[in-house]
Chains A and B, each alone.
Chain A
Amino acid sequence: MNRITHYLSTGLAWFIGFIWLFPLIYAVWAAIHPSEFATRFSLFAPLTLDNFKEAWNQAPFPRYMINTIAITMIILAGQLVLCTLAAYALARMQFKGRGFMFALILMQLMVVPEILIVENYQTLAGLSLIDTYWGVALPYLASAFGIFLLRQTFKTVPEDLENAARIEGCSLLGIIWKVYVPLAKPTYLAFSLVSISYHWNNFLWPLVVTNTENSRPLTVGMSIFGAPESGVDWSIISAGTLISVGPLLILFLIFQRQFVQSFMQAGIK
């Protein structure tokens, strides 16, 4: 009896694992075979790379890719700098209203920028930043999540280290850069991976704030490319999908352990 439930349980685990990977497996299948095999399975179907070529020619993927990378990097760089400064102030400096400020910042954990698309669009239109990288990036540059994570980490740094650095004549920024940042490396890695995958995949806000190829990221590009009205066939859509998820997927497979641990670490704190 116990043995049967054991086999059933193992079988179910792999079955669900298969279903969870299936969309990706299917996309690979459809993308590397001619379109008549998109709905027909045959071991001896001829292999081809034409779908990738077609997809590549039908949508400005290089441009989308550059936009996504640029936007993700601007956001990450901004977040790392701004969150570090704010987190240090909240973790290690005494000032009036500190608790209140921290509470004010944490509000963003609940009210994420996606919910406020209507007013944020108006703000950015007022700044004439519609359809620019900065337009996509600005609402995300200060991250309550990042500030929270780094504050928790900075609080664990022994204060003696800071005092020693101060006696050596280190400036405030010097202390942050030479004492706190190196000791918080795992947190930076965790936060960066979470941030990159979030912004690589983000859709709603970029959709609202971009309107040409000049700033449109991959996700928004895919939503136009994949629309049934565009009359593109499944094999080409699959190829396009793989192109759009490729870089992140490769990054994930290489840094798998770090990815999983980062999400874990980011979630527990």
Chain B
Amino acid sequence: MQLSRQIQAWLLLLPALCLLVAFTHYPVVKTVARSFFGFGVQWEDAASLDNYRYLLEDEVLGQVLYNSFMYAAITVPVSIVLAIAMALWVNSKMRYKGVLRTAYFTPTILPMISVANIWLFFYSPEIGLLNKLLALVGHSGYNWLGDPSLSLYSLMAMTIWKEAGFFMIFYLAALQTIDTNLYHAAAIENASKWTVFRRITFPLLMPTTLFVLVNALLNAFKLVDHLFILTKGGPNNSSNLLLYYIFENAFSFFDTAYAAVLTVVLLVILVVLALLQFGVIEKRVHYR
């Protein structure tokens, strides 16, 4: 009886487990293997470090990694600050805050690819909306996507627009769990709004912030859809990001082996972030 219960458990688990192994664990192992044994789309008989040697020589990679880290380092904190502000507004006694919440949240459920088409129009150099607005104040405008010093920032702006409302949701949930007595006490003490935020709200939101932070960082390395519409990583790789570069190598340049090495780099980054998350979760537990 006990044994059959064991078998039953495995039978229930098996379908999901097989698919997970086939499309998560097996490809991870195969990626690592290919990074040593791969050559172009072929497999070699002996392992070599040639692909990794190429990695070190690849100047584009340096640019791509720099872009990816900048992309994360700017979009994540800005989105988080906006998300906290949005959550505070939506959670306040403001009129029509339901409308506001919908406005903030809408970008989250729209496909990145479709809205990128609209953003493309905002950014376009001659007839684009941003430059038209600048023309009103007598400015000649920028080439938002075509100027290598601007293209990455233009992508970031859209990412922040897309992500902030999503993170707001987590803060909204957290705000609703804060004990209102704390605010009553602060009111009796005549504390200013800023003091209340700094001494009560923000510290109590800290676990949420850590949670959002790690998830946002993970997300930042996966969000590349808009590159396909807005810049295709250009001009001159100035807005290229790691996952897009992997895609290019695998499906445009047909260098599967090098794409595998790049995937290993991305996996290492994700593992480091995951380890960070373990630390974070531990802190959360301590905090409570």
| A binding-site residues for B, Cβ under 8 Å | 2, 5, 9-10, 12-14, 16-21, 23-24, 26-27, 30, 38-39, 82-83, 85-86, 88-90, 93-96, 98, 101, 104-105, 107-108, 110-123, 138-139, 141-142, 144, 147, 172, 197, 200-201, 203-204, 207-208, 218-220, 222-223, 226-228, 234, 237-238, 240-241, 244-245, 248-249, 252-253, 256, 259-260, 263-264, 267-268
- B251→A14 contact, CB < 8 A: no
Contact pick for B112, options A94, A203, A207, CB 8 Å: A203
**Interface of A (DSSP majority class):** helix
Given A13-B100, A17-B100, A111-B267, is A147 in contact with B16 using a C-beta cutoff of 8 Å? yes
* Cα-based distance from A88 to B9 in the complex (angstroms): 9
Q: Which B152-188 residues sit within 8 Å CB-CB of chain A? A: 161, 164-166, 169-170, 172-173
- B222→A117 contact, CB < 8 A: no
- B8→A93 contact, CB < 8 A: yes
Given A121-B250, A142-B19, is A223 in contact with B31 using a C-beta cutoff of 8 Å? no
- A223→B20 contact, CB < 8 A: no
- A82→B161 contact, CB < 8 A: no
B contact residues, total (Cβ < 8 Å): 86
Q: Which B102-148 residues sit within 8 Å CB-CB of chain A? A: 102-122, 127, 129, 132
- B117→A14 contact, CB < 8 A: no
**Interface of B (DSSP majority class):** helix
* Cα-based distance from A267 to B267 in the complex (angstroms): 23
Contact pick for A203, options B6, B225, B273, CB 8 Å: B225
Given A101-B13, A139-B23, is A115 in contact with B267 using a C-beta cutoff of 8 Å? yes
Contact pick for A249, options B10, B34, B110, CB 8 Å: B110
Question: Is the C-beta of B54 less than 8 angstroms from some C-beta in chain A?
Answer: no
Contact pick for B193, options A5, A20, A85, A90, CB 8 Å: A5
Which residues does chain A contribute within 8 Å of B169, judged by CB atoms? 260, 263-264, 267
* Cα-based distance from A135 to B152 in the complex (angstroms): 33
Which residues does chain A contribute within 8 Å of B112, judged by CB atoms? 201, 203
* Cα-based distance from A107 to B117 in the complex (angstroms): 34
List 16 additional A-B contacts (Cβ < 8 Å) besides A21-B103, A108-B20, A111-B24: A13-B89, A24-B115, A39-B127, A89-B9, A96-B6, A110-B273, A110-B274, A122-B30, A138-B19, A142-B20, A201-B113, A203-B111, A218-B111, A226-B116, A226-B117, A244-B114
